[in-house]
Chains A and B, each alone.
Chain A
Amino acid sequence: MADEIFILIPGRTSKQGCGISEGKFLENYQRETSRLQVASEDMERLGLSEGDKVKVTGEHGQIEIEVFGARPGDLPPGLLFMAYGDLSCQLMGSDTHGTGMPTSKGLDVRLEITHP
């Protein structure tokens, strides 16, 4: 699995949006931004269950994060999703390619199961 490349899409969710107003140090925001959504086919194929921890390694950083499965059909295999937050930012590189915007979506990453 460590050699397989996945594409990570960080994005907004309504829970994450509510968490910003409630307080970024509180449970809701922290929880919502610390979970990785994995396609149901990939969960099965990799033998992952909800709550397992994986190491996500990209070109610019590495994080450890809990996984949960997407509803069948919601995410295509090979694609990962997580809510924007501290962890997703740790995977972003600082080269903005002359735009000011770091590449924040569509990041190539590798997965490794750490705590099944």
Chain B
Amino acid sequence: MATDIIDATTGANQEGASQEIKIIEDATCTFCGCVCDDITLKVEDNHITEAKRACVLGKAWFLNHAIDDRPSCLIEGQPAALEEGYDRAARILCEARYPLLYGLSDSPCEAQRIAVSIGDWVGANIDSTSSVCHGPSGMAFQSVGEVTATLGEVANRGDLIIFWGANPAESHPRHFTRYSLMPKGLFVPNGRKDRTCVVVDVRKTKTTKTADLFLQIKPRKDFEALWTLRALAQNVELDPDRVEEETGIPLATWQTLMDKMKAARYGVIFFGMGLTMTRGKHCNTEALLGLTRDMNAHTRFIAKPNRGHGNVTGADNVISWRTGYPFGVNHARGYPRFNPGEYTATDTLARREADAGLIIASDPMANFTQAAREHLATIPYIALDPKETPTTRQATVAFTVATYGINTPGTVYRMDDVPIPLRPAFDSPHPSDEQVLREIENRVKKILNIRA
């Protein structure tokens, strides 16, 4: 790896003042779960003006994160001193009977760790954006296990790549070139030519254009389609009419796919929220993980969820280290309990149970159901975000924070659970998530008389 800043030159801007141009090599993009760590950034006067190798989403991420000139702290919409904000935030959390700590997926692991501590001290429900993304996959991992690999292994070995209910061409634009389709790997020396790409989805997307075989299944029939393949993997005889009626795809086409799967040397299924957000949810992902496991009787096969936010995988990891569970964890009894559907954010809000919130790097006011949003608007909550969002606008205490990866260092987990360091480009006058959370934690401990 190159050093963080390999070149710093001084030029002159229009007023004749000196203007620093920095080049940051191997910067890490945290917009999506691909976490590309090969970006070259050009920084001029605390503004990124170029992001080489970044995709369209990565460019938008880097080029639109100039320093926000909002105050670092707002209390009830009015500018306030940071100290006041920390005090008020700690009081809100300590006075609550059923606080909710939510978000975390666009924050580095170092900050996530402190957030979980706060949740532990105040007896909160701790939930990440996983619960509205691949949370159902997390439940399926627990029930059927996960046959997995790193993306490096996929790049070097994968010769049959299946995308199921996922559209990486729009959500993870460099997925194909960095990891799954294009790389020339040790056992796939000709890159794309050595790989077969299959896409299963309910509609044509930009991803389906890359497919050698596209199966457009009926909407809400992923479960039936996956069980069709599970049956074919075991040579179970199926009724062709029923299969086509249920899945919208002729049995012969499923058989063709199964033949390809059995003939592959290294098969990979990347799955997306087409499975987890559709009726059936964890049952859909259980079926997919079960199919992956079945395939290992024939050849090597692995499955990976395409994770969305830059450090949502880190959130799963950190919450798991700290509590034993990946999301939806309740601390009200002084020890962690896991129950998706009971302790998860949408549920505690929509059922009007949560009476305070700490929302970190996420925007439930824009993404949650109407009932959940309506309740969140009625309770005191604290929000941390580099930008103004519908959530920060309604927060009791809103902190404008430095952007992770652009202004602050730290660690994030790529979607395959590989930790990647961040190489910040320029400083921010705003505090980092980690600083804000540490200050809140210190005050929470003081209020609760915790000495440790």
- Residues in A lying within 8 Å of B, measured CB to CB: 7, 9, 11-14, 17-25, 60-61, 73-76, 79, 81, 84-86, 89-90, 92-94, 96-106
A89 in contact with B366 (CB, 8 Å): yes
Binds A, one of B86-94, B275-283, B293-301, B435-443: B275-283
Quote the shortest CB–CB distance from B215 to chain A (angstroms).
Answer: 13
Q: Is there contact, CB below 8 Å, between B327 and A100?
A: yes
Name the residue on B nearest A18 (C-beta). B60
Annotate B59-86 by CB proximity to A: 1 below 8 A, 0 otherwise. 0110111000000000000000000000
Chain A residues within an 8 Å CB radius of B189: none
Task: Check A100 against B345 for contact (C-beta < 8 Å).
Answer: yes
Contact present for B370 and A14 (CB under 8 Å): no
The answer to whether A98 and B340 touch (CB under 8 A), given A18-B56, A74-B203, A105-B278, is: yes
Selected interface stretch from B113-121, B165-173, B233-241: B165-173
- Chain B residues with CB under 8 Å of chain A are 31-32, 56-57, 60-61, 63-65, 127, 131-133, 135-136, 139, 167, 170-171, 173, 202-204, 216, 219-220, 273-274, 276-279, 281-282, 308, 327-328, 340-342, 344-347, 350-351, 363, 366-373, 387-390
Q: Known contacts A14-B57, A18-B60, A61-B370: does B132 contact A101 (CB below 8 Å)?
A: yes
Docked-complex contact B131 and A100, CB < 8 angstroms: yes
Whether B60 pairs with A11 at a CB distance below 8 angstroms is no
Of A81, A93, A96, A105, which is within 8 A of B341 by CB?
Answer: A96
Q: Which of B216, B279, B327 has the most CB of A within 10 A?
A: B279
Closest chain B residue to A104, Cβ basis: B277
Contacts A86-B366, A93-B369 given; indicate if A102 touches B203 (C-beta within 8 A): no
A94 to chain B minimum Cβ distance, whole angstroms, is: 3
Contact A73 B204 (CB under 8 A): yes
> Judging by beta carbons under 8 Å apart, are B281 and A9 in contact?
no
**Do the beta carbons of B388 and A89 come within 8 Å of each other?**
no
CA distance A24 to B386 in the complex (A): 12
The answer, among B60, B136, B370, for a CB contact under 8 Å with A89, is: B370
Per the bound structure, the CA–CA distance linking A90 and B368 in Å amounts to 8
Distance of B49 from chain A, by nearest CB (Å): 15
User: Bound state CA distance, A22 and B60, in angstroms?
Assistant: 7
- Nearest A residue (CB) for B135: A100
Q: Which of B219, B276, B366, B390 is within 8 Å of A101, CB to CB?
A: B276
Most B-side CB within 10 Å, residue of A9, A23, A73, A79: A9
